[in-house]
Structures are given as C-alpha cells and as structure tokens.
Chains A and B, each alone.
Chain A
Amino acid sequence: MYNNELSLKKILTIAKREYHGLFFEKTFVLSVLVQLFIASFSAFLVVGLTSFYDPMALQGMQMKESKIGVIGDTEGEIFRLMEIDDLEPVKYTDFKEAYTDFYERKIDAIINIPDEKPEGNNLINIDIYLPRSELKATIVSLQLKKPLEKLEERVRDIRTIRLDGYKPLNIHIMNWNRSTSSNKLEFIYVALLPLLMFTPALISGGLVIDMITEEFERKTLELLLATPVSFLDVIGGKTLVGITISPIQALAWMLLLRVNGIQIYNFTDILLIVAIVSFILVCVGSIIAVWCKERGTAQLFYSLVLILLFMSSYLYTNSPFNLVSRLALDSIMSVEVFMSIAEYFFIAVMLLWILTKVTKEGTYEGLR
C-alpha cells in the first residue's frame, strides 16, 4: 500500500527536482521578463495616464498653451481669469467665425460667456465646445476647470451671503507645496505596488497546477509512487517550490522600486504577507489540480477563483492589496497588522489541512 507519512527529506528531494526543471527550461526568465515589461509599462502610466486625469501632475511638465476661442461677453470676469492661467484666449465676434478657425485647427475649443453679473440673480450658463473624441478635449477641459472654479468661488462669495445661516467651512492648509497629487501617490501605492507584489504569487499558483497535472497526464505519478515517496510528499514538494519563489521576486521588486526613489516602509511585514498569500494561492491551486487532474479545467477553475478573490478584495479594509498599500505607506498600527496577518495565516493553515485531506483521499481514489 502507499506510504502516507510526511517526510521533510522526501519533500525537499521533490522540491529540488522541480527547481531544477524550472531553471532548465529557462521559463523563469520569461516570467521575469513579463514582470519587467509590466513595470516599464507602469512607469509610463504613472507619468502619462495619471496626468490626463490630474492637471496638478502636469505642472512642471511642458505643456503647450491651448488656444481657445471666446465669444459673447469678452470683457468680464472669466476672460480675465483665463488670461492668468495657461490658456490663450482669442476673441471672436460670433460663433460662425470661431467655428471656421476651430475646423481648421487654429483653436482647440470655443467658449461662450453669457452677459450676466455676479451680483445678479440669474444663473450664469457657460457653453463650451470641445473637439469630439480627441485627447485635446480632455486637456482643454482640465485647463478650463481652474478658472471656472475660481469664477464659481467668486460668484458664490457674493451670492451665498443671501442664504440663511450658511457659514462656509474654511480650513487653511499650511506649508502645502502641492508637490505630490493624491492621484499619483495612490496610483503608485494602491495600484502598482500591490500588483507587482502579488503577480509572482498568482503565477506560482498556476505553476503548481502545471506541475501536478503534468504528473497525472504523463502517467509519471505511478512511477514516482513506486519509489519510497508518498503522494503527499510529491504534492508537498511541488507546493513548497511554488511558495518560495514568489517572496524572492517580491523582494527584488521592492528593492528596484526603492532604487527608483519610491519609499517603502515595513519591508519584512510586506514580505510576510506576500509569502502567506502565495501560500494560500498555491494551496488553492494544488487542491484544484488534485481534484481536476487535468490542466485545461484546472486552470479555468483557478483563474475563476483568482477573479473571485480579486473582486472580493475590494469589499473590505485590510484585504491583502490594501494591507500592502497601508504598510508601504506606514499608515497602519502594528496591532492591526498583527491581527490581519494572524487571520490570513489561519486561512492558509486551513487550506493546507484541506490539501492534505484531499491528497490522502486522492491517493486511494484517483490513481486508477
């Protein structure tokens, strides 16, 4: 009968064999390449895309002044506000004239300012005409936002006095140099960093599925079990490989980010979380693989589980993603960290227990 005892030495032997395979096939290189690619790509995203959504990020970056055609009341408040900011207003007498220049790309937007006074009682309706589905439309409207907000503020200063018991809440932010916008910081710490930290763990889970289903499909498992190793040793060894390779990659990423001037606090805590999460994912992968015994379906289930876990991580504070962001920013108390780590560790242990159970059953059932 099959040997069912766990033996560390045997597990290590299996693990060594798998490591050897990984490096022999140079697949590891491919995976590192993919991650590098994601990183270089995100480097572009950091400066590029966030700046589209955030005019603050564009300060310091060279940006061409947008020419804007102005019709209507060209003497009033807005016109003066636009001249202060990085816009170049051009006066036109009517819409048709402005539209001709717009069509020929001499100006990028047309703005119609109505003849209303801030002290008046009527709404001030401003019409803005932007080029359809051009990036320029986004840029121009970002540039217009500031003068428009100033205008609103000024008109409100006059008109809100008429309101009953309204007291504006003004908080002065001291020594604020507007060097970093919240969007940019959140992109780096909330999107990029967790993504880089957990990509190796995701790949590890898929890798373990491949390692296990391959033994089933090649029918090499029988051969392996004829030696003094048990099925549990085989699974254990493969799982071990999956778990250990991801924290190493995560560490490399953090060092690389640090070289790039991104400050990351709590290195060891983050590594611990990455290790536990990859433990969880690898266990999930192994359970699915032992259950399905066939690569196509196993990978399908695994990717569905991944999407499921990813989506549910949006639902609560201190999900692994959130935890890594908060740790890297040093915005979390150590008690909270300890609690969450304990929680995830408990889940990991539970999954390991399920894995050993499934494996032991599989020893008798699955190997026909």
Chain B
Amino acid sequence: MSGWYTVAKWEFIKSGMKFSRKSIFALLLMLLLLSIICYTVALTDMSQNHKIYTLVTTSPDLKNIICNDERFQTLPEDSRDSDITIVEYNAYLSGTTKSMAAADALEKVLINYREKVLSSYNDINNTHPVWVTLHDLGRPESFQVMEIATKNENQLSNTDNYNLDTGEKYKSDSNTAHSSSTFISAEGIDDPDSNSKILFEKQTVATPSNFTPPIPFTAILYSFLFIFPIYFVSQFYSSSIMEERTNRRCEMLLVAPLKRKEIVLGKTIPYVLVSLILLSIIAMYIKRPSDVQELKTFLAMLSVIFPVLILFLSLSFIAAILSRSFKELTFAMVFFSVIVSAYVFFPAMFANVHTVSSISPMTLMVNLIENREISFDKYIFSTLPFYLVALSLYGFGTAIFREEDLFSQKTIPEKIMDCMEIFLSSPGGSVFVLSIVSIPFVYMFQLMMIVMLFNLPFPYSVITMIILSALAEEIAKSIGIYTIIKRKLKTANLITTGMLSLLAGIGFFFGEKLVSMITLAPIAQSAFGSVMTTGTLFLIPLLLHVITTTVTSMGMYFTSPRYYIFFLLVATGLHTVYNIYLLRGLLFV
C-alpha cells in the first residue's frame, strides 16, 4: 500500500525541484503580463479584422461615421480599386465578393449610426417606438428536430416504435403538468433559478435593431475553461514520464522493490489530485455552491469532467511510453488533444438539439451549467466508454512498463504487440477476453466517427461509417490472433487457428451485445445508431463475426503473417457488404 505513496511523494518533490527561484519569478511575471494583456484585450472588441475593407468618399462627415468601425479604411479620393465608392447618397460596389461583404458591413455601420443619433434625442416614444421582450419557456426535450432520424422514421420500424413511445410519454407528461399547475404565469415560467449567474438569465428587452438572438453556446464557452488545466497537467504528466525514460532515472524505480502497478499509480495520482484541485476551483467559479442543491451540482460537474481527465491522462501515459522521442510525444499529444477535444465539444454544440449530443460528457456539463438535472443513465452512456478505455489503456501501459520496452528503440507496432503478448500469456488472458476488452475501443472509435462524419452529406456519411467501423471491428478481433501467429505463442495448426477465430468472434459478439444492452438506447433512433447495432437478429451476426475472423486468421495461417493487412481488408469487405445489406432500407430508398 505504501509503495505508491512513496513514488507519489517523490513525483511531487521532483516536479517542485524543476522550478528554480529564477523560473518561478519568470513564471509569475509571465502570468502578471498575461492578465494585464487579457484585461486590455477585453476592453477592445476582440477582433483581428482591422482595415479589411476599403472605401472612397468625398464627404468628410461620412468618412468619420464609417471609419468609426475599425474594419474600414478610407483611400485617397483618386484611387480606383476601393471596394465601395460613395458619391452623394449612392454607394457603388466594385463587384467583387469582398465588396458584397463590405456592403453588408456598411449597412450594419449605418444602422448603428442611426441608432446612436436617435438615442441622443431622449424622446423614446418617437425614436424607439417598438420594443421586444424575450421570455424563456420550458418544454420537454425531443430529439427529432433536424435530423436524418426523422426523415427515415418510416424505414426503420424499431425507430418508429421508439418515437411513438416517447411521444406518448410526453403527452402524458404534459397532461399532468397542466392538471397540477393549471396555468403558470409567463413570469413564473421564465424565472429559472433566481440565484444562478446573471449570464444565463435570458429574459431580455431590446428594440428590433438591437435585438440579438439568444446564443446557445455560452455554456460551451464556459465548459472550455475546464479543458485548459487538463491540457497543461497532461502535458506535464507525459513530459515527466518521457523524461525519466530518456535520462533512464526510471531504471532505479524498476529495480526498487515495488510492483509496476504501484509505480504507475504513484506517478499518476499526484497529477490527478492537482488537476482535480484546479477543476474544482473552476467549477467553484462557475457555480459557487451555497446550499445542498448547488453542492450537488458542483459535485456532478466534477464527476462529469473526471472521466475526460482520466482519458486525457491515460492517453498521455500511453503516448509517453510508446513514443521514441520528445518530438513524437509532442505530435502524439497534439493529435490526441485535438481529436478528444473535438469528440468532447463538437457534440455538445448540439446540446438540446440533436441526439448525437448525448455521446459527449460535455453535453451534461452544458446541462448542468444551465441548471438542468442530468439523469444517471445518460451519465453512464456518455462516460462509460471514457472510463473503460482509460482503464484498459492503463492496463496495457502498465504491462509494458518494463525495462525492455521503456529503454529501447522498439517501433510502436512492436510495443503494441508486446502489450498483446503479455495480455495473452497472462493467466485468464485469451483471444476471447481480448475481444471483449477491445470493445470499448471500437465503440469509442465508432462514436468518434459519428462526430467526424457528421458533416458529410447523408448517404456518404453512413457508408463511410459502415466501412470504417467494419475495419475497426475486424482489427479488434484479429489483432490477438496475429500476435499469436507472428510471435509463435502457440504451435499453429489448422485446428487451433480455427478455434482461435471461433473464440475471438464469439468474444466480440458477446461484448458487443453487452454494450448495446447497457448503453445504446439513447442514440438508437438516429441513423448512425442503427449502424452500430446492426442486426437485432441473434445468430447471423455471430456467424458473421466468426466467419470474417476466420478469413483473416486462415489467410495468415496458409500464407504468412506478412499478408495480415491484405486479409484484414478482405474480411472488412465481407463485413461491409453484410452491413450494407442489412441497412439497405436506410440507404437506398
């Protein structure tokens, strides 16, 4: 028990020693400078668009009015290539795309000017005669606003049922709501929780010209705050591990009477603690808990961001172990950060709008910031993949946390195969279990695909999704067998190879069904969801998984592991054909 504690203490002391008095001074100075600049920038209107449109005018008054806007610059009167030329009361455009945009900007400038002049009159009944008051009205969520799912309702019978169900539920909901509180006054409805931050209170009064639409992304901007400490801490974390690898200080730890698990735990816990402290400070800033209810929200925020933190740390851990140099680590970290951030934030932009949003924990964060309740099954749905992937990454990472992998120039595929080898030769490790363990990875990969393919036009996105998820599933099933044949872990003959593929196929099928039972319900009605749960039938998908795996492994058995990729692609092709056949109703209407 005390093993990890000692390592953790060392980690703390070591990272403290990195900062000499000089560098702490420099750090503080930098932060001070940064806050000054941020403050000054906040006073400006935060844009980089100075002087991008050009204008020629003879009237000095007009020049003053327009150049108040920093986007415009006036050219001397004889110049010919300006975007807008104003003669008397007519504005002539040069006809380019830019000049069209400039005209748009000009119109806005003139409107602003008009409002300013009118405001100076102090006669509101005549200058600003029309006022608009916006109220917020709550109503139950429904996820069918602008998606494929609605278009394809009729083709997917199970989808249809689902929609009907929810529809009925809402109806009964609304009935009860009406009977219990027969009529709610408008003011009563749009008063959310009066002690929340003013920023999210949306009731506003404005004239039509000053009237800006409610922006649904404020909460997202806030949840961005959470990701910054995670970036920094994981940067430090991966750096620390990589440093000990390059200067071989880690060797001391490995020969010490400590279990590998303890070393990894001890190196990780300090970073988890530090980031949790930083994250709670941010959560505190967004919502200061003053009563029990708010304390609950505060804790919920932390529990929503926690899996994201763990995933980031596990990715940095595995990246630090796999990469051969700092450069590689930097690129890997940038790559992972971009991908994971996209996965986390992009769906959250569609919070309350589209089903896809529920795959990201940040959606829950947005809901929390907006003072909504989050349900436990939604939490499980969006965070379980994070936990599982992080856990297995740590498992694999700990397995190769040994001298021959840490201090050698092995290539990345070789290190990954080392992971597999250790896993397969450990007690209880078999291709069957490996297939099950790989499920969260495949699952997360598929969810990530949803995020990335979301912006492709409809039929292509689903077809690409089918091909890529088939590929991912095939890799997951056959990688263990590949390792066994390549590393000669078992004497390969026809029967064992066949048995292995059977086991891997069944294992994957088993895991897949498990996942779909637990989690997939929330997005089942979207077209993407149906790609992932293809086949409610039982036997045929099982057969398919076994057959495609057999194709890959038999192929390798009869030729050599060198042709792994080729047979993998063949199996993927088979798998794709099957899936497209299943989803033909969705694709070809």
Contacts and interface: CB of A to CB of B under 8 A. Distances in A.
A130 B139 contact: no
A163 B127 contact: yes
A155 B130 contact: yes
Nearest to B238: A296
B19 A131 contact: no
Interface stretch (B109-117, B439-447, B488-496): B109-117
A142 B54 CA distance: 29
A28 to B, nearest CB: 8
B60 interface: no
A211 B106 contact: no
Contact of A311 (B38, B70, B91, B243): B38
B239 interface: yes
Contacts of B54: 331
Given A37-B338, A138-B216, A296-B235, A25 B328 contact: yes
Nearest to A141: B213
Interface stretch (A181-189, A270-278, A349-357, A360-368): A181-189
Interface residues of A, number: 128
Interface string A35-48: 00110110110001
Interface string A223-244: 0000000000000000000000
A91 B125 CA distance: 28
Contacts of A172: 89-91
A6 interface: no
A315 B232 contact: no
A28 B335 CA distance: 11
Contact of A331 (B73, B138, B202, B338): B73
Interface in B105-144: 105-108, 110, 113-114, 117-118, 121, 123-140, 142
B130 A299 contact: no
Nearest to B231: A303
Interface string A128-141: 11111111111001
B101 A180 contact: yes
Contacts of B124: 123
B26 interface: yes
A292 B52 contact: no
Interface in A184-236: 184-186, 189-191, 194, 203, 206-207, 209-211, 213-214, 217-219
Nearest to A309: B37
B457 to A, nearest CB: 12
B334 A185 contact: no
Nearest to B40: A315
Given A180-B101, A300-B236, A149 B208 contact: yes
Contact of A121 (B110, B125, B353): B125
Given A121-B125, A134-B353, A180-B104, A127 B135 contact: yes
A141 B376 CA distance: 33
A148 interface: yes
Nearest to A151: B130
A312 B105 CA distance: 25
Interface in A267-318: 292, 294-297, 299-301, 303-305, 307-308, 311-315, 317-318
A219 B247 contact: yes
A159 interface: yes
Contacts of A123: 124-125, 128-131
Given A173-B106, A297-B19, A207 B139 contact: no
Given A127-B186, A184-B101, A315-B41, A210 B330 contact: yes
Contact of B137 (A27, A132, A135, A314): A132
Contacts of B239: 295-296, 299
A65 interface: no
Given A34-B335, A170-B89, A180-B97, A326 B51 contact: yes
Contacts of B236: 296, 300
A222 B195 CA distance: 63
A127 B113 CA distance: 26
Given A99-B137, A331-B51, A159 B129 contact: yes
B325 A214 contact: yes
Interface stretch (A9-17, A102-110, A249-257, A338-346): A102-110
Contact of A148 (B92, B211, B372): B211
Contacts of A38: 338
Interface stretch (B156-164, B171-179, B527-535, B557-565): B171-179
B252 interface: no
Contact of B327 (A134, A169, A207, A219): A207
Interface stretch (B27-35, B301-309, B465-473, B476-484): B27-35
B26 to A, nearest CB: 7
Contact of B209 (A129, A152, A319): A152
Contact of B326 (A130, A179, A214): A214
B326 A295 contact: yes
Nearest to A311: B37
Contact of B108 (A122, A169, A182): A182
Interface string B305-335: 0000000000000000000111111111011
Contact of B145 (A40, A135, A299): A135
A113 to B, nearest CB: 11
B454 to A, nearest CB: 8
A141 B105 CA distance: 21
Nearest to A30: B331
Contacts of B139: 102-103, 105, 131-132
Contacts of A219: 247
A322 B174 CA distance: 53
B328 to A, nearest CB: 5
A179 B342 contact: no
B246 interface: yes
B133 A127 contact: yes
Contact of B247 (A25, A105, A170, A217): A217
Contact of A185 (B27, B98, B171, B177): B98
B537 interface: no
B350 interface: yes
B23 A297 contact: yes
A277 B128 CA distance: 49
A248 interface: no
B325 A179 contact: no
A332 B83 CA distance: 12
Contact of B101 (A185, A206, A311): A185
B326 A96 contact: no
B113 A173 contact: no
B90 A171 contact: yes
Contact of A22 (B40, B174, B327): B327
Most buried by A among B48, B134, B136, B334: B48
Contact of A304 (B34, B127, B140, B452): B34
Nearest to A122: B125
A194 B48 contact: yes
Contact of A190 (B48, B170, B214, B338): B48
12 contacts: A21-B327, A37-B339, A130-B135, A131-B137, A135-B353, A175-B95, A182-B101, A217-B243, A217-B247, A263-B97, A294-B18, A322-B49
- Which 5 pairs across A and B sit closest by C-beta, in order of nearness? A210-B326, A296-B239, A148-B208, A185-B101, A44-B455
Given A175-B92, A217-B247, A308-B34, 9 more contacts: A27-B331, A104-B170, A128-B133, A133-B216, A148-B211, A152-B207, A173-B106, A180-B100, A181-B101
